[in-house]
Amino acid sequence: MTTVARVASAVVTLAFAIPGMASAQRPARIGDISREPATFTVSGTAVAVEEGRFVVPANRVSGSDAALTLAFVRFASTAATPGSPIVFLAGGPGDAATRALRGMPLGFLDELRAIADVIAFDQRGTGFSEPRNVMCPPAPASRQDRPLVPSEMLDTLRRRVRDCLADSARRDVDVKGLTTSESADDLEALRVVLGAQRLTFLAGSYGTHLALAAARRHPALVDRMALVGVEGPNDTFKLPARVDSVLMTIAAARRPTLRDDIRTLGARLSAAPVAFTLSDSQVVQLGEWELQRWVAESLDEVREIDAMVAAIPAMLDGQFAALGAWALRYRFPRPLNLMNLAMDCASYASAERLTRIRHDGPSALLGNAINFPLPDLCDVPGLPRLPDESRAPLLVDVPALLISGTFDGRTPVANAVDVARSFPRARTLVVEGASHGLFREAVVMKSILSFFRETRP
């Protein structure tokens, strides 16, 4: 049975990371392992760890002999009889656990280590794990003399992805191996390397999607899992209607007219785009899509939500400083993360979900801006696509703690509710007024520790 706790809260983002990894002798063949002592700094404190590397197939489906070296850092448990290793799975896809651990509160890490080993595992294509060359060069900056046109941006992105895929092939990067299923199999390989019977997962955002895939593919692998900001098997592409519901919740708490204000501003910018002059005399044209995308990106963090809500009254009065500054930055050249794109396109969405997205998008307050440039960009030949069964609901009989924030437009509470239906031993924690960054909330850390301690004698 699922239980729901509701907690009033404000949220601070947790940024994790580790500054450098020792240059150990890397293993060379599939199945090879190397492990050696090292030191890393967490929250300004040097901590003794074990650095590990192991070799897995680059693409198990293809049967190729190509291999990847994956990296992890083990923080040894201080318990006399440790539980199942706690494996931290970062989000993105594309974030690295070894980078994500730098800002973890040391007290929280120590409490976790009092339960079991803590493993910062860099998923394939992230951090110190291979492939290391998954970034493609930036494109020229977008034009500033007119509002952005999503269809034109999509055409440009398609050309960039085609070029990027061709360049990756020349560099022997097997993009078809950059899928959540391959990463899930990597976790089973990690279990073997660690000599553990099972693993405990501490996962955030996309990391929750990976944890669920691992539970599907390797049912005996998982001891228990704490999932923060839940992305279920079919949640990679966001539902516009759920984003509208989150905006309604934010409006009720912050500004009752927020949704009407956004709609009014969108209509104005659609009818007559605004030329905004920045302090350095640069001029940028603002249209309805810029507004929609800006609001969508604001839903990541509470501080960004508050800044967005505070800027709306000024925009209604014709003062577009906040949107103008964002719109200029959005036009800057930026690299293309092929790992991120390949993973998301491989996970994709069911036909039923795609129908809902395309049906609801035109009438939704933000359109489909939160997903752009997906799902359309995924039609570029050469990007992976997992079979439909990977997106089906899964029945997992392991203890699970599903944590969500009511202001989270990327992994809304409804995602956790859906996933909990297929977890007989799931419980949910809903944090009022919290958005996508939840790890550093005191109530969240306390709940995770309590949940993990339940495995102790």
Other Cβ atoms less than 10 A from the Cβ of 280: the count is: 6
Kindly report, residue by residue over 177-203, the tens digit of the pLDDT. Answer: 999 999 999 999 999 999 999 999 999
Q: What's the length of the chain?
A: 457
Q: What torsion do the CA atoms of 152, 156, 162, 167 make, to the nearest 10 degrees?
A: -170
* Mean of per-residue pLDDT scores for the chain: 91
What is the mean pLDDT of the segment spanning 246-268? Answer: 98
- The pLDDT value recorded for residue 4 is 34
**C-alpha pair distances (Å), 313 with each of 143, 148, 260, 308, 327:** 27, 23, 12, 10, 18
Higher pLDDT, 112 or 16: 112
Say whether pLDDT at 236 is over 90.
Answer: yes
If one compares 43 and 341, the residue with the highest pLDDT of the two is 341
Q: Where in 178-317 does DSSP place strands (E)?
A: 199-204, 222-228, 274-277, 283-286
Q: Give the pLDDT band (50/70/90) at residue 140.
A: confident
Q: Are 87 and 187 in contact (CB under 8 A)?
A: yes
Residue 89 has pLDDT above 80, yes or no: yes
Of residues 80 and 132, which shows the higher confidence score? 80
pLDDT tens column, 399-446: 999 999 999 999 999 999 999 998 999 999 999 999 998 888 899 999
Domain positions in the chain are 4-132+180-233+393-453, 135-172+239-391
Residue 25 has pLDDT above 70, yes or no: no
Query: What is the distance, to the nearest Å, from the Cα of residue 253 to the centroid of all Cα atoms in its chain?
Result: 26
**pLDDT tens digits, one per residue of 338-366:** 999 999 999 999 999 999 999 999 999 99
User: Please, which residues have CB within 8 angstroms of residue 18's CB and are 6 or more apart in sequence?
Assistant: 40, 41, 42, 73, 98, 99, 101, 102, 120
C-beta separation of 228 from 203 below 8 A: yes
Q: Regarding the domain delimited by 4-132+180-233+393-453, which CATH topology (the fold level of the hierarchy) does it fall under?
A: Rossmann fold (3.40.50)
Closest among 102, 100, 103, 47 to 78, alpha carbons compared: 47
- pLDDT tens-digit profile of 387-404? 999 999 998 899 999 999
Q: Which candidate, 235, 18, 221, 223, places its Cα nearest to that of 126? A: 18
Residues 6 or more apart in contact with residue 318 via CB below 8 angstroms: 274
Q: What is the model's pTM? A: 0.93
Q: Which residues contact 4 (CB under 8 A, 6 or more apart)?
A: 428, 429, 430
Mean pLDDT of all residues in 31-44:
91
> With contact defined as beta carbons under 8 Å apart, do 396 and 423 qualify?
yes
Does the structure show a pLDDT above 90 at 15? no
44 confidence band (pLDDT: 50, 70, 90): confident
pLDDT tens digits, one per residue of 149-170: 999 999 999 999 999 999 999 9
